[in-house]
């Protein structure tokens, strides 16, 4: 499918000659996310600068019955920003300005194309803190974060992106500009559509501006890495530390994952001895007493036999190095072309769930190596199946989607989520029914139709249009 020349002309009238791209390199750049499964094939890429330009493009798309794919930082892992069928890609890259900041309200209003890291830096310059943090903050955009309700490594303390959105400006699928919640703390005036757009993955409309809350910066952060005797013990360790102090992070990874990170990078092992798995904890060192408290809790865990060894950061550099053991995991593993699962269950059920999932994978797929890591303090696991060298990528993918369905059925049994933080996009559509009932899926389709009557917004993502 291509976009007809007169439409291209109209797009140029809206956003300007230079901001309409039709060459293949633009399609390869703007028409895809971090997934590598699909070959992008949009019809045109436009780079608007204002909400009004986005509105005009959406109105034109409605008139011409052309599909639209919103494109943010393209760091998604579920194909939510992939354009496959001659769509108009609306890339937010040029909408990256701070519109307003208010120190009393501790809020900032930005255009949706602002890079997450830029927002973090802006907050820091104001003596404040934007706490949603994850590996791809250097490329991901705020609008995309909101459209996928991004999580990351500080959720245990600060929640998801959803918890920081005070207001949104969006262009819905009909071309209406909606200003949702105006940055207010309290506003009980009927249905809160702000929360409907958060996590909607571009299927209802395009987020063009956001008002975000900012936090006070944390005090000095200490990082603790513990060697843990087995996966169930990790949950015991979590309970002890969670009850005894306030954590800002609680992550985990298995030994085979850490080994690869250490081999692959300059990061030293945390300590001499080897453990089956590791917990990474972070807390604010508000006082000397807090450090003593952490040591006490550590000793409790050692006495119980849950923890085998441990190290605490003595400097910022050491803290950063310890974090790298966890943060470099995804990139390190990418050379094994891992098949990723991003699942969650209630934290309390995690030991039982992991035991069941491990048994399932090792029985059914004994030739597969699995690396587990994730935000275990939030009940969120990334199960990564590494491709055996001898298996072709196609065969591997086919076999893994078999695993995914079995894992999906297990997630369903545990009332868990088949996509804890990566969203559904194209990649998880087949798995959606394991987490959402048929009635819910039908309601999603109908609600999409309300906001996007012609079904032009990011078609084929999450659910099919009706």
Residues 237-276 that bind a second copy (CB under 8 A): 238-239, 243
Q: How far is CA 445 from CA 441, 449, 455, 459, in A?
A: 6, 6, 10, 11
- Smallest distance, Å, CB 40 to a second copy? 23
Q: Which is nearer to a second copy, 264 or 449 (CB)?
A: 449
Among 18, 189, 315, 392, binds a second copy (CB under 8 A): 189
Q: Which is nearer to a second copy, 200 or 341 (CB)?
A: 200
CB under 8 Å to 398, separation ≥6 — which residues?
none
Q: Does 99 bind a second copy (CB under 8 A)?
A: no
Q: CA 11, 171, 134: angle at the middle one, nearest 5? A: 105
**CA pair distance 197, 176, nearest whole angstrom:** 14
Among 191, 288, 317, 392, binds a second copy (CB under 8 A): 191
Among 169, 326, 382, 428, binds a second copy (CB under 8 A): 428
Question: How do beta strands 221-228 and 177-180 pair?
Answer: unpaired
Among 3, 115, 235, 301, binds a second copy (CB under 8 A): 235
Q: Which stretch binds a second copy (CB under 8 A): 45-53, 65-73, 263-271, 378-386?
A: 378-386
Among 91, 132, 385, 420, binds a second copy (CB under 8 A): 420
Q: Tokens standing for 157?
A: 């303390």
Q: Does 456 bind a second copy (CB under 8 A)?
A: no
Q: Which is nearer to a second copy, 246 or 274 (CB)?
A: 246
- Answer left, alpha or beta for residue 395, where phi above 0 means left and psi between -120 and 50 means alpha: alpha
Q: Which is nearer to a second copy, 100 or 331 (CB)?
A: 100
Q: CA 97, 109, 378: angle at the middle one, nearest 5? A: 110
**CA pair distance 78, 80, nearest whole angstrom:** 6
H or E element at residue 58: helix 51-64
Q: Which is nearer to a second copy, 268 or 453 (CB)?
A: 453
**CA pair distance 454, 67, nearest whole angstrom:** 9
Q: Tokens standing for 305?
A: 């036999």
Q: Does 75 bind a second copy (CB under 8 A)?
A: no
- Smallest distance, Å, CB 460 to a second copy? 13
Q: How far is CA 436 from CA 195, 201, 285, in A?
A: 18, 16, 41
- Smallest distance, Å, CB 263 to a second copy? 30
- Smallest distance, Å, CB 301 to a second copy? 15
- What DSSP string describes 298-331? HHHHHHTTSEEEEEE-SSHHHHHHHHHHHHTHHH
Q: Which is nearer to a second copy, 13 or 124 (CB)?
A: 124
Please count the residues of this chain forming the interface with a second copy, following the rule CB under 8 A: 77
Q: Is the dihedral of CA 442, 448, 452, 458 positive or negative?
A: negative
- Smallest distance, Å, CB 191 to a second copy? 5
Residue ranges in 153-172 that form contacts with a second copy under rule CB under 8 A: 155, 160, 162-163, 172
Q: Does 443 bind a second copy (CB under 8 A)?
A: yes
Instruction: Specify burial of residue 1 (Cβ count, 10 A radius: 0-12, 13-18, 19+).
Output: exposed
Residue 203 and residue 457 in contact, taking contact as beta carbons nearer than 8 Å = yes
- Smallest distance, Å, CB 463 to a second copy? 6
Partnered with residue 424 across adjacent β-strands are none
- Smallest distance, Å, CB 300 to a second copy? 16
Among 111, 140, 404, 419, binds a second copy (CB under 8 A): 419
CA 318 vs. chain centroid, Å, equals 26
Q: Which is nearer to a second copy, 26 or 204 (CB)?
A: 204
- Smallest distance, Å, CB 378 to a second copy? 4
Alpha-helical (H) ranges within 190-328 are 193-197, 231-244, 255-264, 288-303, 316-327
Site string for a second copy, 298-337 (x = CB under 8 A): ----------------------------------------
Among 17, 190, 303, 394, binds a second copy (CB under 8 A): 190
Q: Does 188 bind a second copy (CB under 8 A)?
A: yes
Among 82, 142, 451, 452, binds a second copy (CB under 8 A): 451
Among 38, 117, 447, 454, binds a second copy (CB under 8 A): 447
């Amino acid at each position: 499918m291509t976009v007809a020349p007169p439409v291209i002309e109209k797009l140029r009238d809206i956003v300007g000659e230079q901001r309409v791209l039709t060459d293949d390199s633009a399609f390869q750049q703007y028409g895809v996310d971090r997934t590598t499964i699909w070959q992008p094939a949009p019809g045109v890429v436009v780079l608007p600068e204002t909400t009004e330009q986005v509105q005009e493009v959406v109105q034109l798309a409605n008139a011409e019955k052309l599909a639209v794919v919103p494109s943010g930082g393209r760091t998604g892992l579920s194909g939510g920003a992939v354009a496959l069928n001659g769509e108009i890609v609306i890339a937010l890259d040029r909408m990256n300005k701070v519109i307003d900041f208010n120190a009393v309200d501790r809020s900032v209003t930005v255009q949706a194309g602002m890079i997450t890291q830029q927002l973090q830096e802006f907050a820091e310059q104001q003596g404040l803190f934007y706490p949603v943090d994850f590996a791809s903050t250097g490329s991901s955009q705020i609008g995309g974060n909101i459209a996928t309700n991004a999580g990351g490594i500080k959720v245990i303390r600060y929640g998801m992106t959803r918890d920081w959105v005070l207001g949104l400006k969006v262009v819905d699928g009909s071309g209406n500009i909606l200003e949702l919640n105006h940055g207010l703390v309290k506003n009980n005036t009927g249905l809160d559509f702000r929360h409907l757009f958060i996590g909607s993955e571009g299927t209802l409309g395009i987020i063009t501006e956001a008002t975000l809350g900012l936090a006070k910066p944390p005090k000095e952060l200490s990082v603790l890495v513990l060697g843990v005797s087995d996966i169930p013990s990790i949950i015991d360790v979590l309970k002890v530390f969670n009850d005894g102090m306030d954590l800002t992070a609680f992550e985990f990874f298995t030994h085979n994952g850490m080994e690869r990170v250490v081999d692959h990078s300059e990061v030293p092992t945390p300590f001499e001895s080897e453990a089956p798995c590791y917990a990474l904890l972070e807390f604010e060192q508000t006082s000397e007493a807090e450090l003593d408290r952490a040591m006490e809790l550590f000793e409790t865990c050692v006495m119980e036999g849950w923890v085998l060894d441990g190290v605490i950061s003595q400097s910022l550099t050491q803290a950063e190095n310890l974090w790298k053991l966890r943060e470099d995991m995804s990139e390190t593993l990418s050379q094994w072309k891992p098949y990723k699962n991003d699942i969650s269950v209630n934290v309390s059920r995690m030991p039982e769930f992991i035991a069941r999932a491990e048994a399932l994978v090792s029985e059914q797929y004994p030739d597969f190596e699995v690396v587990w890591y994730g935000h275990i303090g939030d009940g969120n696991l990334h199960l990564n199946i590494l491709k055996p060298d001898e298996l072709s990528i196609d065969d591997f993918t086919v076999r893994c989607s078999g695993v995914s369905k079995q894992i999906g059925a297990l997630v369903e049994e545990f009332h868990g989520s088949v996509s804890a933080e990566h969203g559904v996009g194209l990649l998880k559509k087949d798995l959606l029914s394991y987490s959402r009932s048929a009635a819910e899926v039908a309601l999603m389709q109908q609600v999409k139709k309300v906001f996007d009557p012609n079904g032009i917004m990011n078609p084929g993502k999450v659910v099919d249009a009706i």
